[in-house]
Amino acid sequence: MFKFLLLMLLSTSVLADSLSWTGPTHNTDGSVLTDLAGYKIYYGNTEGGPYPELLVDIDNPSVVNYELPVLPSGDYYFVSTAYNTSGVESDYSNEAQKTIIVEPNPPTNLIVDAGNLTAYILVQSRNNIALLPVGNVIAGTECDSTQNVKGHYIVPVESVEFIAQVNPQVVVAKCV
Amino acid sequence: MDAQLTWELPTPGPRQNTISHVLIEGRLTGIQEWTAINTVDAPETSLTIQDIVPGGWEFRGTVVDIDDKRSPPLIATLVVPYDEPSSLVSFDAALV
């Protein structure tokens, strides 16, 4: 006799960059679940569904978490299902939401633009950082692309021709 | 080393509007243009510049009313001294 099984809904949550869920222990008819075979995770980009994309098929019932792969920026809504050894799949679990923000890599090979050679020092007060001009940077100077302050990057102090009577440790300039 | 700017706000006269804030600008000796450093809402009367770099500084304070009318500015100067130099990296004596 064919026994159509539906599995209990799972509980899905998003933790940091992984999904975790709680597997079912019973069938929908109340009987004890003995033939759990695995889980599937689906996702969509609309709250409340649909979830047209299959993220992963995990054919191991003891696995209850999954590290998210790199996904494009956006809002994601995940649900999971459980399936048994007969391939019968449960209804969707609750929905878990995650917003993925992919930051671009910092720019590389930045140099001081010949059209904007002003060198600045940083003046910090309360929650504001002001850029005060102190001289000019030698055109073509390489910039430190790893630190961006208001669209300006650190340049070597020795590349600055100071006009102001100052001897700072950090100087920034507009780089391209 | 920090620098602290302090001021006293004027009391608006009968033909003057409510004071909104004070615009603080600064420049280093040798530079012509002024640069906005911060705005301080009334009735606050101070601003701290953190880790101010040694050199010759000029600061300019301008009162701004709620219609963005501006007062003549007042200027304050500050010379931030350099720290004493570090000790020699090494210092030895030997017979030669």
Strand partners, B23: B39, B62
Encode pLDDT of A74-130 as tens digits: 899 999 999 999 999 999 999 998 888 877 777 778 888 888 899 999 999 998 999
Q: Is residue A8 scored above 50 in pLDDT?
A: no
Q: Is residue A50 scored above 80 in pLDDT?
A: yes
Q: How far apart are CA A10 and CA B19, in angstroms?
A: 61
Chain A 12-31, residues with CB within 8 Å of chain B CB atoms? none
Q: In this complex, is the C-beta atom of B54 within 8 Å of any C-beta atom belonging to chain A?
A: yes
Over chain B (96 residues), the average pLDDT of each successive run of 10 is 95 95 96 96 96 94 96 96 91 95
Q: How many CB pairs under 8 A join A and B?
A: 63
Distance between terminal CA atoms of chain B? 45
Tokens of B77: 């100067």
What number of other Cβ atoms are within 10 A of residue B89's Cβ?
5
Pick from B29, B35, B38: CB nearest A165: B29
Under the banding of pLDDT at 50, 70 and 90, the label for residue A176 is confident
Indicate whether this model's pTM tops 0.80: no
Tokens of A135: 């001289």
Q: Per the CB < 8 Å rule, is A125 touching B50? A: yes
Q: Which residues make Cβ contacts (< 8 Å) with residue A170, sequence separation at least 6?
A: A121, A122, A154, A157
Alpha-carbon separation of residue B87 from A167, B30, B91 (angstroms):
19, 31, 9
The residue count of chain A comes to: 176
> CA angle A169-A116-B78, nearest 5°?
40
Contact B36/B22 with Cβ under 8 angstroms?
no
Q: In this complex, is the C-beta atom of B32 within 8 Å of any C-beta atom belonging to chain A?
A: no
Cβ burial, residue A135 (10 Å; 0-12/13-18/19+)? buried
What pLDDT shows up at residue A167?
83
